Chain A
Amino acid sequence: MSAKTFLDAQDRKILKNGYTREHPIFVVGLGICSALAVSNKVENAIAMSAGVTFVLLATALIISSLRSLIPQRARIITYMITIASFVIIVQKFLDAFTPAISKALGAYVALIITNCILMGRAEAFYVTRGVRHSVMDALGNGIGYSTTLIAIAAVREVLGFGTLLGFKVTPAGWENLVVMTLAPGAFFLLGTAIWISRTISERSGGEEGE
C-alpha cells in the first residue's frame, strides 16, 4: 500500500489515536454539542462531519505552520479567528450548494467555531507540534468525530423517521419512535454509546481518559 510507505510509524500512530485512544467524543468528551444536535438525520451529519473535518485540517495546517510566530498571550484569539474564517467558508459553501441542509443545520454551522474539538486540539497539539503530525492528528480526530456522528445519526434516522438518507427502510406497520428525533433521544443514545465504548475499553485493558 502506498499509504504505508508515505506515512512513517509515528504518523500512523497519531492518526490512529484520533479515532481510538484519544477519540474526541467518547474518550476526551469534546464536541458533544454538535454530536447531539445535528445527528437527527444522516445527511445533516455528513454535512456537519465534512465541515468539521475541513476546518480541523485547515486549522492544523495554519496554526502548526505559524506556531513560532504566534505570541503566547494572543494564542486563543488567533485560534478563534483562524477557525471562524474557515467556518465562514463552510457556511457559504453549504449555502451555495446544499441550501436545504444549510437551512436544517441553521445556527449549528456557526457553532463549529466553538466546537471544543477544534480549540482543544489547537491548544493541546497544533501549537506545539510540526505541520505533518498536526495534519495527521486533524485527520484522525476528523475520522473519529465523523464516524461517530454518522453512526448516531443513522440509528436516530431509522428509529425516528423510518428512513435512511431519505429512503424508507422500515417495514410497513412500523411505528416511528418520535422521541429519537428530539433532544431526549439524542441524550439517551449518546449516553448509551459512551457507556458501551467505556465498558469495552475497560475490558480490553485500555486506560481511562478523563
Chain B
Amino acid sequence: MAAHLLTIFIAAILTHNVALTYLLGMCPFVSLSRTTKTAFGMSMAVIFVITLTAVINWPVYHKLLVPNNSQLIYYIVFIIVIAASVQLVEMIMERFFPPLQAAFGIFLPLITVNCTVLAVSVFMVLREYSYLATVVFAFGSAVGWMVAIMIVAAINEKLALIGNVPQGLRGTAIIMIISGIIALAFLGFGGMVDVK
C-alpha cells in the first residue's frame, strides 16, 4: 500500500509531470515564469488549492454523484467546487492572514482557470483512485508543477541577465523552448516507476 502511494507520488513529480508530460497549466506557466518570485507564489497557491479541491471532490463524486447516478454532470460540480473553494480560501486569508493574502492573494483568482486543478480531479475519476491515492496524487502533481515552473523561471531569470535573446523570441516563445529542453530531460526519468 505504502509502496503504491510512493509510486504514485514519484510518478506525479518526475515521470508523469503534469506540466512537462501532460502539458497542463500552461497559461500561468508561461505568464508567471519570468521571475522565480512570482513562480514560487503561484506554486504555493497551486499546491494548496489542488490538494484542497481533490480532498473535497473525491467524496463529492463517490458519495454524492455516484449513488444518485449523476456522473453526467460531474464537470459542472467539480468546477463549482473549485471556484467556491478558491473564493473561500481568499476570504479566509483576507480575514485571518493578511500578510499571506498580500503575498499570494493575486494568484488565487488565476487558479480557477489553471487547468491542472480540474485535470487532477478528472484524472482521479478516470483512474479510479482510492481516497488516499487521490490525496497523494493531487499533492504530488502540484509539487511536480512547482518543480517544472521553478526550473524554467530560474533559467529565464538568468537568461534575462544576459539579455541577447532575439526580439521575436522573447517572452512566450523562449519559455516554450526552455520548457521543451527541460521536458526532454524529464523523459530520462521514463521507466523509473510503472503506473497505468
Contact = CB atoms under 8 A, between A and B. Distances in A.
Interface of A: 29-33, 36-37, 76-77, 80-81, 84-85, 87-88, 91-92, 106-107, 110-111, 113-116, 119, 179, 182-188, 190-192, 194-196, 198-199, 202, 210
B190 to A, nearest CB: 10
B122 A36 contact: no
Contacts of B100: none
A88 B70 CA distance: 13
12 contacts: A29-B172, A32-B30, A80-B79, A107-B119, A113-B79, A114-B112, A179-B184, A184-B181, A191-B172, A191-B180, A192-B173, A199-B166
B130 interface: no
A174 to B, nearest CB: 22
B184 A111 contact: no
Could you tell me the dominant secondary structure of chain B's interface residues? helix
A56 to B, nearest CB: 15
Given A33-B27, A92-B72, A195-B173, 8 more contacts: A37-B24, A84-B76, A88-B76, A107-B119, A113-B75, A184-B181, A187-B176, A188-B176
B44 to A, nearest CB: 20
Given A36-B26, A114-B115, A202 B122 contact: no
B187 interface: yes
Contact of A195 (B20, B31, B168): B168
B115 A33 contact: yes
Interface string B150-172: 00000000000000001111011
